Amino acid sequence: MRLRINKYIASCGICSRRKAEEYVRKGRVKVDGQTIYEFSTVIDTDLNKVEIDNKLIKYETKKLYLMLNKPRGYITTNSEQFGRKSTVDLIHENIRVFPIGRLDKDTEGLLLFTNDGEFSNMLTHPRHLIQKTYIVTTDSNITDEKINKLRTGVDIGGYVTREAEVSIIDKDKLKIIISEGKNRQVRKMCASVGINVLLLKRVKIGDLSLGSLNLGTYRELNKLEVENLKKCIKNI
C-alpha cells in the first residue's frame, strides 16, 4: 500500500495527520535513513522504513477507537518529558494510539483515542462542527444575563465564540454545549461572564455519551458508535 507520509504516520498511531506534517517540517522524520521535508512524500508500507526521532515506527492496519473517562491531574499528550502524568499512561493496548483533541489538566471526562488519522482529522478539523457537552460546577451566582451572554457568544481573548446551548441543571451546575474546540474554551467563556469554574467535565461528544464509565478507565467503541460519530459531523 502506498500512502502520503502524514497519513502513514497517523496510521501508525503516532499522532494526527496535521501533527505529522509538523514533524516533517521540523526534520524529525526519516525515510530509509534520509531526513525528509516534503509533505508529498509517498511511502510504500511494504518497502520503506520510516523513523521519527530516529525510532522506527510500525504501520498498523487494525483501527482502534477508545473512550477514556479522564481524571483531573492528567495532561493530554502522547509524550511527556517533565514527569507529569499523561492520559496515555492510562491506556494499555498492544496497538499505539493517540488522543483526539485535548482536555486540559484540570478537566475530567470523555476523551477519545485512536490510531486512525483520518477519523481524528474528521473530528478535529476546523471546517467541521461536532457538538461537545460539558457540565460546569460553580460557586458563582448564575443569572439569566450571564446565561444569555454565553448563549449568544462571548469574547474569550480576541475570538468571539459561536452560539452555544446553555441550560441550568441546578443552582450550582450548568450544561454547556459547544461546537468549537478552542483552547480551554468553556473555562474562558465562563470567566468572561464572571462564572468561577470549580469542576469541568465533558460528558458527551456528538451522540456518544460517557455513561457509567468509571473515572480513569476506558473501553473500546463499537462499530455503530464510530459510525454515529462520523454522522455527527457538520460542515461550516
Longest dimension (CA), the chain: 63
Assign domain 2-56 one CATH number from 3.40.800.20, 2.40.50.140, 3.90.76.10, 3.10.290.10: 3.10.290.10
Length, in residues, of the chain: 236
Say what the pLDDT of residue 79 is.
62
Identical fold between 65-126+210-235 and 131-205: yes
Say what the pLDDT of residue 99 is.
93
Summarised one tens digit per residue, pLDDT across range 165-209 is 999 999 899 999 999 888 999 999 999 999 999 999 999 999 999
Q: Is residue 61 within 8 Å of residue 13, measured between CB atoms? A: no
**Known catalytic residue: 116?**
no
CATH of domain 65-126+210-235: 3.30.70.580
Say what the pLDDT of residue 126 is.
73
Question: Which residue of the set 104, 155, 172, 207 is catalytic?
Answer: 104
What stretches in the chain show pLDDT beneath 70?
78-82, 234-236
- CATH architecture group of domain 131-205: 2-Layer Sandwich (3.30)
Say what the pLDDT of residue 95 is.
86
Residue closest to 3 by CA, chosen among 68, 54, 57: 57
Say what the pLDDT of residue 77 is.
77
Helices (H), 53-139: 117-124
What is the model's pTM? 0.82
Say what the pLDDT of residue 234 is.
64
Mention every residue, 6+ apart, whose C-beta is less than 8 A from residue 98: 13, 14, 15, 16, 78, 88, 113, 114, 115, 120
Cβ count within 10 A of residue 154 = 18
Question: Residue written as cell 460517557?
Answer: 210
